[in-house]
Amino acid sequence: MTKQELCQTALDMLSRSYSPYSRFPVGAALACADGSVYTGCNIENAAYGPSVCAERVAVFKAVSEGKREFVRIAVAASTKKFCAPCGVCRQVLQEFAPDLEVILVNCDGETKELTQRDLLPYSFDGDSLTDCSGDPAGLS
């Protein structure tokens, strides 16, 4: 799938958003290394805490289907300003794809390309769990 097609797929997901409280639909399309694509939209809940962002929906769908290698994600919002993944989504993306290409898409179809490392330069990852001796923290 081309970058343009991925961005259009993310825009198409805006109509599937369940966002009655914020009225801020977000769509995502995640491209895997094998060429498969997983989509997501934000899904809100009146209690707010159980709500989930479009990016995490796409990642969780892919992981639940056995995919672990991601190369690119497009994130679209129905605003002129680009909508970047929130902090929680950045952390989830970091877990699986620290070198991920991130394409932000606004309502006019304009794009801004970043990397996961641009979004989360001082990330917390599996290496952060290693103590000074090189052992996994708390396991020795």
Residues identified as active-site: 55
Beta bridge partners of 52: 43
Q: Are 39 and 56 in contact (CB under 8 A)?
A: no
Nearest to 11 by CA among 59, 79, 89: 79
By three-state DSSP, how is residue 59 classified? helix
